[in-house]
Structure 1
Amino acid sequence: MMNKYIAILITFLSIQRLGIAASFAQDLTVSTLFCDHMVLQRGTPVPVWGKARPSEGVTVTFAGQRKSTTADKNGKWELALDPLSASKEGGEMTITGSTEVVISDVVVGEVWICSGQSNMQFGVSQVPEVRGLVPFAKDIRSFEVKRTVALEEQDNVSGKWERTHPSSAVAFSFAYFLNDLGDVPVGIIHASWGSSSIEAWMPRDMTKDLPHFKTIMDEFDRDTARTARIQQILAAPDGWTGKEDVFLRRQPNILYNAMMHPLAPFACRGLLWYQGERNTRYMSGMPEVNSSNWFHRVAGIKEYGGILGQWIKRYRKEWDKEDMHFMIVMLPGYGKGTDGEVDPEKPTEPSWAWMRESQMEALALPGTSVINTIDLGELSDVHPTDKLPIGQRGALLAANHTLQLDVLAAGPIMNDVEIQKGRIVVHFDNAEGLKTVDGRAPAGFWITDDTGNWVRAESKIDGESVILSSPKITNPHYVRYAFAGKPKVNLVNANELPAYPFRTDREEE
């Protein structure tokens, strides 16, 4: 009888050991970004990472390469493949350790992250011109990051690579024209959420460099009712309501934790950023707000440019990639400002013109570009449908800056202003074939003298320059071009790309 019990015990322990061994055998994992149909970035080291048993050896095999590493004491592992050549033909990646993970149909091309708020989220189905491209799209794949939040930085995102276009109209049109120009597969990682501020996409450690963000996060940490509500919403078995969705996406930091942090250091060419509307509530500063509009506790317009620059540098650090390109979508024309309705053409109104100026500050950093949208937008609609030109212009900039294609990719941009007797001469770069789209004199120019009394300028094109004057201003000193909520503009270069807005009186502030 005793032998029978001993036999049963031995059998039970054996089963347990097998179960334990089986559970350990399943420990090897790879980041959720690595799955069937993915696109890897060409021409740069490609990090691959995941988890395994502590000290477990891990080997990654792909495209003739075989790289190995050992998991650390916490089970984390990471290695990098050598730079890859573009490939439209899907290959197989194998990751081996105590078990094996096989990822199929992997291509190599250009990978971009597309992020921001509602105008990036704006769908393909809502824009007929972009929807019309769908039947002609090829070699475009996408990873849609699930919209959610987390109070702590996460290791993985929810989503999968699919052999289809991204849901975003801007992201898809960008991918479509980039594929056409570069003739390589394009992979889009789409991570956007409507009405989110730039603060929503900031890692917590940026509180060390940005006092306003430290204030925001200190308030967030003290508000235990808010964090409890966030946890309650996330735990709800049936998802959340529309009202709760708005509540979540207007929080600071926690979108970054769940939707952006897990993407690093996935190899990519750059990040296309369409955001800023949420930060146009104030011209400057971060005024006190009440319980009904707490979500406007964000930086103002004039501070946005400096914050954007810090944000770009911090993301490059996260990806450990100094040449990671950042492409900023300029806010388009709009007839409202910080105080509601504004004169859409007047250059002194508290309009989105000032936010565009802040966005242009990104150009002070290397490896950046700004998509000019000054001729786009709707007077009374914050969600305009003219998204296709944004994708076209972004693809041209990407082709020029990151693919080194010799194309005229940007519109005329002010290089120098020459003050002459009774007139101002504005000299432009990117001004080959400078002209107006309607054959009329260039519109959108205003000039003033020391009085600050701005008047519309009489203008004419002279080669790659524009000459400005007015019988109302004897000695003009300053010029503002397209510096208004929704200015009427017509100045373009040979590629029909619009001139960038600017003002020359900034140094006098």
Structure 2
Amino acid sequence: MSNDQPAMRHRSPSHLVRLAIVAGCFLLSYPATAMADLSVASPFTDNAVLQQKMLVPVWGSADPGTAITVEFDGQKQQSVADADGTWKVQLNPMPASAEPQTLQVSSSTTTVSFTNVVVGEVWICSGQSNMQFSTAAVPEIQSLAASSENIRCFEVKRTVAMTEQDRLEGKWTEQPPNSAVAFSFAHFLEQAGDVPVGIVLACWGSSSIEAWMPREMSDTVPHFKTMMDEFDADTDTQDRIASILNGKKPWSRADDIFLRRQSNILYNAMIHPLVPYASRGLVWYQGERNTQSMFGMSKEPWFSRHSGILKYGPTLKAWIERYRKEWGNEDMHFLVVMLPGYFKPLPTGPQMGPEHPSTHSWAWMRESQLQSLELPHTSVVNTIDLGDLKNIHPKDKLPIGQRLALLAARETLGQTIEAEGPKMQRVEVLDDRLVVHFEHAGGLRTLDGNAPTGFWLSDDSQKWVPATAELRGQTVVLSSSELTHPLYVRYAFAGKPKVNLVNAAKLPASPFRTDSFQP
């Protein structure tokens, strides 16, 4: 039964019919694998990648009481379909193997076989347009194909559903994902781990985090409850969604944008059917859509009614925890891509330019994204040295893939490598200067050999002034002729700061601030 049934209890009969029509087009459009008495979940196809060194669920549906046998890599696991017609087995953990094998699922009357199946590292790559950004647009990433040996992709069809679906459209191919970030990540991870890499690509441009949230999160995220209550009461939107889904294909650009800017219904169609496909974790490159306001829930335009920047941090953490619950895996790793440099100031703050820390800019979104580190098994890829002042879709995606792979190799493959740039450890407040102590600071230096840039100082006046910065070992000493007794520092805390501080691995220092001033 769909998780949104309680919310439908008080809807009118006509509203229920409307939802049934919309949901019905999906139930009819996703054919089950094999014959009527046995089907296997959509993520299982020829050329699949199964996750190494973890329990691997295999599931599907069959007539109640049907005995099911799943065979792979010398294992034989059995189950019986429940009264509701669902079944599931778990394959025991397996080592990585690029040797093609057959995954066979059978009942007494039907056998379904998936060929060319390998075992390696499986990652879901999701988010909005910068995750969807094509490999073809970045020649240096496209050229990696020649040296990529065993990267496979399952690209989820971009669509929506009013209720949580059990099936989706897509298939595993022996081709890298057509996503510059996902492909470069997979390439460098394959090299680091010497294992097959499978990418499940489920992304859609212009989508908010709320688009990828299950309805049940309205019980714990107040602004999402408001959004879903408003969505349920908006019969015009319901009717337009039904009209688009049952109308002419392909959709017009306007209809496509309208669908992907809705809440919840992307999750229903594109994520829920993947649960609980075994994966190491999820790479999340999203947030641009939620930067339309600082405080969130703007009334106009309609598609800016979401968390906004300041609510994004708690929302992201709740979303991560919910996905782990869905997958039944508290160790599921989340790699969050920090939004890179870009400048479009919000009207709610001082208009001080792209490098000033007082401007209401993406600096505050990056701080929200970094809140995810309060949860275990999370990492944030620092991109503060990347991006484009005016282009929200920058092409410098190769370093993002490299940094993602470094973090994944360290955190999930157990490799002892430097995967992060310098991070503020503590700030020592002296009389007329501040001393910033860093971790991950081996070989602390600047890329251009000049003094460190991007540091600003303030006292309780909340007036920020540029700092004079000096490198001393693994510290940076800050002062300013404009402040007698500086108390606080902000580093790279701007829409598009100029930064040059790195460690020996040439990884950039992470943005931070030590004040608690509110925007």
Is 2:179 aligned against 1:171?
no
Secondary structure in 1 aligned to 2:310?
helix
Partner of 1:373: 383
Distance 1:360 1:396 in 2: 18
Q: 1:404 to 1:129 in 2, by over 3 A?
A: same
1:336 touches 1:342 (CA, 8 Å); kept in 2? Answer: no
1:313 matches 2:321: yes
Q: Residue in 2 aligned with 1:90? A: 100
From 317, 328, 345, the equivalent of 2:336 is: 328
Contact 2:57/2:89 (8 A) holds in 1 = yes
Relative to structure 2, which stretch is displaced further, 295-304 or 280-289?
280-289
User: 1:144, 1:161 within 8 Å by CA — same for their partners in 2?
Assistant: yes
- Most deviating of 230-239 and 307-316: 230-239
CA distance in 2, matches of 1:383, 1:345: 19
Residues 1:385 and 2:395 are matched in the alignment: yes
Q: Tell me the TM-score normalized by structure 1.
A: 0.93
Q: Secondary structure at the match of 1:165?
A: coil
For the structure 1 residues 84 and 131, does the alpha-carbon distance in structure 2 shift closer, same or farther, using more than 3 Å as the test?
Answer: same
Q: Distance in 2 between matches of 1:455 and 1:264?
A: 50
Which of residues 339, 344, 347 in structure 2 aligns to 1:339?
A: 347
Contact 1:233 1:239 in 2 (8 A): no
User: Is the aligned partner of 1:487 residue 2:497?
Assistant: yes
CA distance in 1, matches of 2:36, 2:389: 57
Picking from 127, 142, 151, the partner of 1:116 is: 127
Give the stretch that moved more between structures: 331-340 or 419-428.
Answer: 331-340
Larger Rg: 1
Q: Which residue of 2 aligns with 1:300?
A: 308
1:41 paired with 2:41, answer no
Task: Give matches, 1:116-265, under 5 Å.
Answer: 116-265=127-276
Question: Match for 2:332: what amino acid?
Answer: M
8 Å Cα contact 1:39-1:187 kept in structure 2: yes
Q: Identity of aligned pairs, percent?
A: 58
Output the amino acid matched with 2:110.
Answer: T
2-side partners of 1:263 and 1:434: how far apart?
43
Whole-Å separation in 2 of the counterparts to 1:366 and 1:154: 29
Code of the aligned partner of 1:233: I
Provide the residue aligned with 1:269 in structure 2: 280
Distance apart, 1:337 and its partner CA: 2.5
Task: Give the Cα–Cα distance (whole angstroms) in 2 for the partners of residues 115 and 436 of structure 1.
Answer: 33
Deviation at 1:157, TM superposition (A): 1.3
1:498 and 2:508 matched: yes
Measured against aligned partners, the alpha-carbon deviations of 1:64-122 in whole angstroms (never above 9, x if no partner) come to 11000000011110111010110011111110113000111110000000000000000
Q: Deviations over 1:439-486 (max 9, x none)?
A: 011100001112112111111111111111111111110000000000
- Deviations along 1:151-206, whole A, 9 cap, x unmatched? 01011110000001001100000000000111000000000000000000000000
For structure 2, which runs of at least 5 residues remain unmatched after alignment? 1-33
- Per-residue CA deviation, residues 24-72 of structure 1 (Å, 9 max, x unaligned), is 9642110111010000000110000001111100010000110000000
What's the offset of the Cα at 1:231?
A: 1.1
CA deviation vs aligned residue, 1:259-312 (integer Å, no higher than 9, x gap): 0111110000000000001100111131322xxx21111111011001100000
**Aligned-partner Cα distance in 1 for 2:44–2:374:** 34
Q: Deviations over 1:365-413 (max 9, x none)?
A: 0000000000000000000000010000000000000101001001111
Q: For each residue in 1:116-165, what CA deviation from the matched residue of structure 2 results, as whole angstroms up to 9, or x when unmatched?
A: 00000000001111111122211100000000000010111100000010
CA RMSD of aligned residues (A): 1.3
Query: What amino acid is the match of 2:510?
Result: Y
Q: Is the 2:282–2:334 Cα contact (8 Å) retained in structure 1?
A: yes
Q: 1:329·1:373 contact (CA, 8 Å) conserved in 2? A: yes
Question: 1:92 touches 1:106 (CA, 8 Å); kept in 2?
Answer: yes
* TM-aligned CA distance change 1:25 to 1:140, over 3 Å: closer
Render the CA deviation track for 1:403-448: whole Å, top value 9, x for unaligned: 0100100111111111012110111111111110000111000011
Secondary structure of the structure 2 residue equivalent to 1:227: helix
Q: Which residue of 1 aligns with 2:30?
A: none
User: What SS does the aligned partner of 1:68 have?
Assistant: strand
Aligned length: 483
Match of 2:89 among 64, 71, 79: 79
State the secondary structure of the residue aligned to 1:369: strand
> What is the CA–CA distance in structure 1 between the aligned matches of 2:318 and 2:248, rounded to whole Å?
38
Question: Is residue 26–residue 99 contact of structure 1 (8 Å, CA) maintained in 2?
Answer: no
Aligned with 1:336: secondary structure? Answer: coil
Q: Which segment is superposed worse, 225-234 or 56-65?
A: 225-234
Preserved contact between residue 42 and residue 274 of structure 2 (Cα < 8 Å) = no
Residue 141 of structure 1 contacts residue 165 of structure 1 at CA under 8 Å; is this kept in 2? yes
Question: If the length of structure 2 is used for normalisation, what is the TM-score?
Answer: 0.92
Alpha-carbon distance in structure 1 between the residues aligned to 2:335 and 2:167: 25
Mark the runs of 5 or more structure 1 residues left unpaired by the alignment: 1-23
* Secondary structure at 2:499 match in 1: coil
The residue aligned with 1:6 is none
